[in-house]
Structure 1
């Protein structure tokens, strides 16, 4: 089997690559590193010269308040490039951390800039990626600011399932989601005790379960209705098809 780099695989999920685009992507050097859970990949204030690509596991973007409280503002699944903005911003305004043990790829900015200069479609897709990230950030603001606890957690679980399906990492409405209750609390603005009660309620309603790092949605329509979940903010043709399929089951 011919080698296909993780970067090539990422773009191939978005559109059919030309032979020139594929060759250019496969030629990009990616340094792959295994990193344990709860480790900083980049910190607020850093000025990185490379971008991160999540290859396996779960990462997050977050900010920490003066009294040490962390607010997670996004989760990143395999295929995501959480600090792509560092290509054009002088310094990072957030931390990017591993949530679970991860495999990550480091790609030099110079290599990505060269791709963008020589291959406009690849540049356009990276620009689109940052726009989708911004759309997800906006939805998270609404989720934390306006939804009640049950809907807040349910909405997050719906999002993770569709994004993992989009990455080809979900089957039969089950996917890996190796988070603790404290992790979920940081992502939803709820205490660990409140998260425990909320997950219990979702189980009792037979909507979803989160056991041993595995998320299963038992009733997609019920969970989506509870959280007022609309998948359009993910802007993915594949997740749109998945949402339509799930709504029929």
Structure 2
């Protein structure tokens, strides 16, 4: 683990500015925050359910997920996490974590002590509103995923998640037009959508055969954005992005 350099806050600044307007002074305040950076392997827990953390984790690169495990050992992914996200931001005010966060790919993760974030909010009061908005957007994503898994068929679930990931990655500068890197395995999609890996494979084949997507070598290319949105019943309002959505 090592100390951070100012440029490593770029993902967080991009993420916050996708949902909140920062002043130059506020950007400088973020760049000066002390942060410890660690390189983690894929499938490595960052925090676990039941932990009582004294710091928050900031995803700097790579993809991660929040998940729960049932009594019989099955994993349910409840959200994907992209660079710029602070997936355990609620630990600033909730002492015990009720979910686990794990890397999906190799990740660089920054750790910021709670006391530093509390001090930031005291010195620059608008950060309290920015972080509150961030947790509200997270909650909106959880609600949308509940509808996705509970009421949509697997084919439509997959279309919805692909639309969401494109928009979230684009908001932090990691997607161009309708293409992005998406190194998520079929097993991980299965854990997110609540279906078997075999079913995920069939769904992806159907989306490909209908000319909606290309997904090869961890690269997603959406060939028909409007049709994929229609199939996924995808309305981006719940992401509350201030930047223009892809067209």
TM-score range, shorter chain: over 0.9
Q: How many residues align?
A: 240
Between the two structures, name the one with larger relative contact order (CA 8 Å, sep ≥ 6): 2
* Counterpart for residue 245 of structure 2: 242
Whole-angstrom distance in 1 between the partners of 2:123 and 2:80: 31
Q: Please, which of 186, 193, 199 is the counterpart of residue 188 of structure 1?
A: 193
* Counterpart for residue 138 of structure 2: 133
* Counterpart for residue 214 of structure 1: 219
Determine if the alignment matches structure 1 residue 72 to structure 2 residue 105. Answer: no
* Counterpart for residue 168 of structure 1: 173
Whole-angstrom distance in 1 between the partners of 2:6 and 2:34: 13
Determine if the alignment matches structure 1 residue 112 to structure 2 residue 123. Answer: no
Cα distance, 1:8–1:167 mapped onto 2, change above 3 Å: closer
* Counterpart for residue 57 of structure 2: 52
Whole-angstrom distance in 2 between the partners of 1:195 and 1:38: 20
* Counterpart for residue 145 of structure 1: 150
Is contact 2:6–2:32 with CA below 8 Å preserved after alignment? no
Is contact 2:61–2:107 with CA below 8 Å preserved after alignment? yes
Whole-angstrom distance in 1 between the partners of 2:59 and 2:187: 22
Runs of at least 4 residues off by over 3 Å:
2-5, 7-14
Whole-angstrom distance in 2 between the partners of 1:152 and 1:5: 33
SS in structure 2 at match of 1:52? strand
Whole-angstrom distance in 1 between the partners of 2:77 and 2:115: 29
Q: Which runs of 5+ in 2 are unaligned?
A: none
Q: Which runs of 5+ in 1 are unaligned?
A: none
RMSD of aligned residue pairs (Cα, Å): 1.5
SS in structure 2 at match of 1:237? coil
* Counterpart for residue 16 of structure 1: 22
| TM-score, normalised relative to structure 1 | 0.93
Q: Please, which of 66, 71, 74 is the counterpart of residue 61 of structure 1?
A: 66
Determine if the alignment matches structure 1 residue 33 to structure 2 residue 28. Answer: no
| TM-score, normalised relative to structure 2 | 0.93
SS in structure 2 at match of 1:203? helix
Residue 25 (structure 1) shift: 1.7
